[in-house]
C-alpha cells in the first residue's frame, strides 16, 4: 500500500491496495489515513460489487439506501436517462450525511463504476481544520452548544445550494439534536459538526442569534484554505470521514453517450469500525435528548 497526499488543501491517495485481501492492519492503516486527512481516494483496479460491499462492512454498519434485494446498502447514482434540468440534485448543497437523524453517518463511500471525461466533482470543506483555527473566545462560546437539525433548507444554507430531497415519507417536523463541536473518537481531534445543511436552531439562542452564529462559522469555514474538490476516476473509491467535513455534489448534465456517463455506487455507514475496540468516546453515536432536557418530536417510521 502506498499512501500520498492529494494535490490540494487536504486529502490522501492510496494505491497498490488489494481490498479483497486486505488484512485488519491494512484496514486500520486506511482508516487512520482517512481520519487524519478527512477524505481518502483508493485505486482498486476494478472491484466486484460483492467485494465492494464486504470492504465497506469492515468500516462500519451500512445504512439501507435502496430496495435492491441483493445490495440494499448501495444507492446507485447516475446521469443516464435522467432529466438533470427538471430533476434537481438534492445532494448539490453543503451538508453532512444523515445529520438530520438521531444516529449520524460515520463514513460515506463512493465507487466509480463509470466516469465521464469531465465534471461530477464532489466538493469538501474541512471542518476539523476550521475549528482548529478559531480563536479561543469563539471556541469557549461554542464548545458546549447543541444544534437543532431538521431536513430542509437550513438557516445557514450556502448561496446557490439546491433544495435537498427528503427521504420517502419523511416528517418535516422531525428534529434531531447534535453537539456543535464533537471530538473524533479515534484521533481525539475536535471538529465543527454539520454547520450547514440541516441546522434549524441552537438550544438556548433566539433564531436570530443562532442564524448569525452559524453563518459566521460558515463564513470562516468556507475560506479557500479549508476547501477542496475531487473527481472520481474509473474503478476508484472516494470516501470521507463524514462528521469532520461538509460536502456538496456538483450538478452534471444528462448522459448522451459513453464519454459523459456517470455511474456511482454509494454506501453510507454508521457506528465505529470493529477494528477500533476502545475508542476515546462513543463516536458519532446520537446522545439521547434527555441529556439536553429536550422534548423532541419522534418519527420512528421515517423512511430511509
| pLDDT, greater one: 289 or 251 | 251
> Which range has the worst mean pLDDT, 18-27, 84-93, 177-186, 235-244?
84-93
Q: What is the pLDDT of residue 293?
A: 45
What would the mean pLDDT of 262-288 be, rounded to a whole number? 84
| pLDDT-above-70 percentage for the chain | 91
Residue 85 has pLDDT above 60, yes or no: no
Report pLDDT digits (tens) over 152-161: 879 999 998 8
Report in angstroms the alpha-carbon separations of 174 from 171, 193, 206, 273, 295.
6, 19, 19, 28, 11
The CATH architecture annotation of domain 2-287 reads: 4-Layer Sandwich (3.60)
Segment 80-99 shows an average pLDDT of 77
> What confidence category does residue 47 fall into, taking pLDDT thresholds of 50, 70 and 90?
very high
- Residue 301 has a pLDDT of 29
Residue 145, pLDDT score: 97
At 192-201, the pLDDT tens digits run 999 999 999 9
Predicted pLDDT of residue 198: 95
User: pLDDT category, 133, cuts 50, 70, 90?
Assistant: very high
Is pLDDT above 50 for 295? no
Grid cell at residue 175: 428534529
Q: What is the pTM of this model?
A: 0.90
Q: What pLDDT score was predicted for residue 160?
A: 85
Q: What share of the chain is helix, strand, coil (3-state, %, to 5)?
A: 20, 25, 55
Instruction: Flag whether pLDDT at 223 surpasses 80.
Output: yes
Q: Measured between alpha carbons, how far is 168 from 243 in angstroms, rounded to an integer?
A: 23
Spans of all domains in the chain: 2-287
C-alpha span between 44 and 35 (Å, rounded): 20
**Among 159-173, 263-277, 286-300, the least confident range:** 286-300
Half-sphere exposure (Cβ direction) of 6: Cα atoms closer than 13 Å: 24
Amino acid at each position: 500500500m502506498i499512501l500520498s497526499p492529494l494535490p490540494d488543501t487536504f486529502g490522501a491517495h492510496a494505491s497498490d491496495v488489494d481490498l479483497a485481501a486486505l488484512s485488519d492492519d491494512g484496514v486500520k492503516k486506511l482508516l487512520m489515513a482517512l481520519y487524519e486527512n478527512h477524505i481518502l481516494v483508493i485505486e482498486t483496479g476494478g472491484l466486484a460489487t460483492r467485494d465492494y460491499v464486504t470492504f465497506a462492512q469492515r468500516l462500519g454498519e451500512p445504512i439501507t439506501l435502496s430496495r435492491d434485494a441483493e445490495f440494499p446498502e448501495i444507492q446507485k447514482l447516475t446521469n443516464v436517462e435522467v432529466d438533470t434540468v427538471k430533476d434537481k440534485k438534492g445532494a448539490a448543497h453543503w451538508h453532512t450525511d444523515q445529520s438530520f437523524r438521531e444516529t449520524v453517518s460515520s463514513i460515506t463511500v463512493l465507487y466509480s463504476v463509470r466516469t465521464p471525461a469531465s465534471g461530477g466533482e464532489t466538493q469538501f470543506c474541512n471542518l476539523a481544520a476550521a475549528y482548529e483555527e478559531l480563536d479561543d473566545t469563539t471556541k469557549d462560546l461554542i464548545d458546549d452548544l447543541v444544534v437543532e437539525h431538521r431536513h430542509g433548507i437550513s438557516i445557514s444554507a450556502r448561496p446557490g445550494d439546491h433544495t435537498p430531497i427528503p427521504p420517502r415519507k419523511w416528517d418535516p417536523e422531525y428534529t434531531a439534536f447534535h453537539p456543535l463541536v464533537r471530538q473524533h473518537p479515534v484521533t481525539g481531534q475536535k471538529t465543527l459538526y454539520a454547520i450547514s445543511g440541516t441546522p434549524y436552531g441552537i438550544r438556548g439562542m433566539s433564531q436570530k442569534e443562532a442564524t448569525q452564529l452559524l453563518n459566521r462559522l460558515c463564513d470562516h469555514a468556507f475560506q479557500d484554505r479549508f476547501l477542496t474538490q475531487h473527481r472520481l476516476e474509473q474503478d476508484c473509491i472516494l470516501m470521507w470521514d463524514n462528521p469532520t467535513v461538509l460536502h456538496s455534489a456538483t450538478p452534471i448534465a444528462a448522459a448522451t453517450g459513453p464519454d459523459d456517463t456517470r455511474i456511482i455506487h454509494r454506501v453510507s455507514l454508521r457506528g465505529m469500525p470493529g477494528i477500533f475496540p476502545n475508542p476515546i468516546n462513543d463516536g458519532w453515536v446520537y446522545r439521547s435528548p434527555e441529556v439536553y432536557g429536550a422534548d423532541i418530536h419522534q418519527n420512528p417510521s421515517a423512511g430511509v
